[in-house]
Structure 1
């Protein structure tokens, strides 16, 4: 409910039963919150009133002009601001009630949870199937092509390559598998150094470590939230001075938006470092008219269940280099040699996508542009609805970019951003809305403690190259990278929120999220 809608639920004890009945009809929530004081808003919660309470009073002969204070006293059943959704539901079930007020430390009503909303979860990014997928999967069953490989796999590869504007593609069991294959094809192995965006999901970095190489993490730039060209230049210069040439660079396109390729590619080309473009989150995006996933020597996509299109699980490795993709196909089918028997000269993997799932993917590709338009519309509705909220900055769409808005993300700025972020996430979860923090950067992850990290900008007057290592503890002041004033990815994580962004969200769900975010942010101000 909107902030003003919640205020309308609050009523003073001197209000008449007649006024309470009219307020119940107007608010249509089935409950009012009787609070001390004359304004019915700022005082301590005294009790709740339902239409049942008013009916019983009328049957007992209480005059309609009588104040609410004449009703039998019932201490309210409430929860505090730290209560979880489970706590609320347990209280509802124990007392067979459908509404639970939330009170602050002073006992003032600040929120209301209803059973109805607890039965209607809003997901962050749920799968959205079209009309063709069932028929394509049925075709796979009818033809008995249900194992890995088959005509749907061939078709999916060809259709995605054409959509992205590359010549070759290999369908894999996951985006992570595609990343692993891509790094191996670029020759990454023990002792190598690989540059990697820090603000990303851990799957971008894990294959580097699993191949025995060492990741060096690169900060984001403030506008697009993707890899900072300034930080990349500093990393390349520092490593070059130390006689190190990175074997590859994993450049992530975050939350449906391409990185600044016009700035990043020349730096990598000059240093002789091939790019593996992690476009797992950005299928359907473009950068100055060129599709995301068409910039790197190799690029990967993900079709996990939460992505803009899905095969339930799957990925794709793409390139204009036919030899690389041919080698990828061989490695992904256990690297079997073309012999009558099972002959192997190198180790391979079971990484190919099944024909059944590829059928789903082909159907999903047909509705990709619709899904992009829907997610962009979700973002725009959020942006407009929350335009007046101070200290809230949306992930920008810089000139030349077309983002899919796979996830609608914003950052809360200013002091105490992380505490306010967590309070908002708790508030939304209490109302059965799934929202998430922005990715925790890799240089703050315990798994990568001690790895080198290059920030967007060093501390002013800081002598020496702008690089740091993260202490083992990634959280709190003690874990801040040494000597930094502009660690962009850390700030984005500490204040960043990803809202429900599914292309299948209903108008009512989108409005509900807008109202709850506004109410949750206002609540922080009230209870500060």
Structure 2
């Protein structure tokens, strides 16, 4: 590895959407042109085709595309009839969308701590949170495990706890779609799965988009009704409260082209993470992947001793290497959510991680020379 890196080199992209765009070239242009030609901008044929291919990729019976990952989560809760008095268990160390949708339907998010190695929901803390909810007179209704930074939560343990307590399982794989647990893709676990196609996601569109995956035949017509204003026999009969949750046909057309190269990109991301891990393990705490899982490395996130992170970020910025922090404030400390209940003991791991984690550039088009530049910059900064 060459440690003599030019500090005046061009900045490294944190996520390089443009490199993927260059690879796909005319395929994207032609896909969009086909939609412009047929003018079926909503519910066009590409939407149906994408849903079929997405379900096949994930190993799920059904895929229902929608307008965003957040709306996917909300649509599922609405279809299940989650309501006031119900408790929905969410990890505290995640993006706000996971918990945000729970108050939308009048229910109460109850925050759960995470594990220090995988950053995913701690099954023991989930058990504690269920007891807290019951003491507060709430009805334990559902759990939303998040596949944070690209790898699945401990689905063996969480599914067992959910079964014991009669909880619905809504898997949030917005950051983990394409990863596996015990050899099965995310999207094929629990009662339903929500995912996101936000442009920065490993499988992203050119705007907002999302999808729901499920094996529940009875849930599908309800979700489709919710997606279209709660329609019944047609759009002018409204049999339930719904929303406008469709995926635009142009976005489906773009996603079809991206899905075709997704396997290649997953392998490329894993190769980057493998090199990062080998080169950085002696200077920081590198990510750990559960042996039952694979990760798609939506983010490559390291841990540093408390108080070191900001100095590393500043040093890397001077060398043109961007960083990001996911997440500086855990959900149970966010002003909008601090009044909701949480598992006992203050969720110490979520508190600790929020002060220690930092993410490095990660995408499928990060060549070895650029990886080496990132690695050398991190090592120089931490050595100083």
The answer, yes or no, to whether TM exceeds 0.5 is: yes
| 1:255 partnered with 2:145 | no
Q: Deviations over 1:57-93 (max 9, x none)?
A: xxxxxxxxxxxxxxxxxxxxxxxxxxxxxxxxxxxxx
Contact kept, 8 Å, 2:87 with 2:133, in 1: the verdict is: no
Indicate which of 354, 360, 381 corresponds to 1:520: 381
Contact kept, 8 Å, 1:187 with 1:247, in 2: the verdict is: no
Indicate which of 371, 377, 382 corresponds to 2:276: 382
Indicate which of 422, 425, 445 corresponds to 2:313: 425
Contact kept, 8 Å, 1:375 with 1:501, in 2: the verdict is: yes
Query: Structure 1 regions of 5+ residues with no counterpart?
Result: 7-28, 30-112, 455-466, 469-480, 524-528
Partners in 2 of 1:369 and 1:324 — Cα distance?
29
Partner of 1:283: 177
Secondary structure at 2:342 match in 1: strand
Partner of 1:443: 332
* CA deviation after TM superposition for structure 1 residue 272, in Å: 0.5
| 1:308 partnered with 2:202 | yes
Partners in 2 of 1:123 and 1:334 — Cα distance?
40
* CA deviation after TM superposition for structure 1 residue 300, in Å: 0.7
Secondary structure at 1:196 match in 2: strand
Counterparts of residues 361-440 of structure 1 (less than 5 Å): 361-389=255-283, 392-413=284-305, 417=306, 419-439=307-327, 440=329
Partners in 2 of 1:446 and 1:432 — Cα distance?
33
Partners in 2 of 1:246 and 1:354 — Cα distance?
35
Q: How many residues end up aligned between the 2 structures?
A: 377
Partners in 1 of 2:304 and 2:228 — Cα distance?
46
Counterparts of residues 455-470 of structure 1 (less than 5 Å): 467-468=344-345
Indicate which of 222, 229, 248 corresponds to 1:327: 222
| 1:144 partnered with 2:39 | yes
Indicate which of 72, 76, 80 corresponds to 1:186: 80
Structure ID, larger Rg: 1
Partner of 2:16: 126
Q: Deviations over 1:247-269 (max 9, x none)?
A: 21111011110011111111111
Partners in 1 of 2:268 and 2:314 — Cα distance?
27
Secondary structure at 1:446 match in 2: coil
Secondary structure at 1:437 match in 2: coil
Contact kept, 8 Å, 2:110 with 2:133, in 1: the verdict is: no
Contact kept, 8 Å, 1:438 with 1:492, in 2: the verdict is: no
Contact kept, 8 Å, 1:169 with 1:316, in 2: the verdict is: yes
Secondary structure at 1:429 match in 2: helix
Contact kept, 8 Å, 2:302 with 2:359, in 1: the verdict is: yes
Relative contact order: is structure 1 or structure 2 higher (C-alpha 8 Å, sep ≥ 6)?
Answer: 2
More strand by share: 1
Partner of 1:355: 249
Partners in 1 of 2:134 and 2:107 — Cα distance?
17
TM-score of the pair, normalised by structure 1: 0.68
Secondary structure at 2:285 match in 1: strand
Indicate which of 492, 499, 505 corresponds to 2:360: 499
* CA deviation after TM superposition for structure 1 residue 239, in Å: 3.3
Q: Deviations over 1:366-386 (max 9, x none)?
A: 111111111111111211222
Contact kept, 8 Å, 2:2 with 2:372, in 1: the verdict is: no
Contact kept, 8 Å, 1:153 with 1:353, in 2: the verdict is: yes
Partners in 2 of 1:310 and 1:244 — Cα distance?
37
Partners in 1 of 2:247 and 2:179 — Cα distance?
23
* CA deviation after TM superposition for structure 1 residue 293, in Å: 2.0
Secondary structure at 1:322 match in 2: coil
Counterparts of residues 194-343 of structure 1 (less than 5 Å): 194-240=88-134, 243-312=137-206, 313-339=208-234, 342-343=236-237
Partners in 1 of 2:310 and 2:43 — Cα distance?
45
Query: Structure 2 regions of 5+ residues with no counterpart?
Result: none
Partners in 2 of 1:149 and 1:324 — Cα distance?
19
Contact kept, 8 Å, 1:194 with 1:249, in 2: the verdict is: yes
Contact kept, 8 Å, 2:268 with 2:364, in 1: the verdict is: yes
Structure 1 stretches of 4+ moved >3 Å: 237-244
Secondary structure at 2:63 match in 1: strand
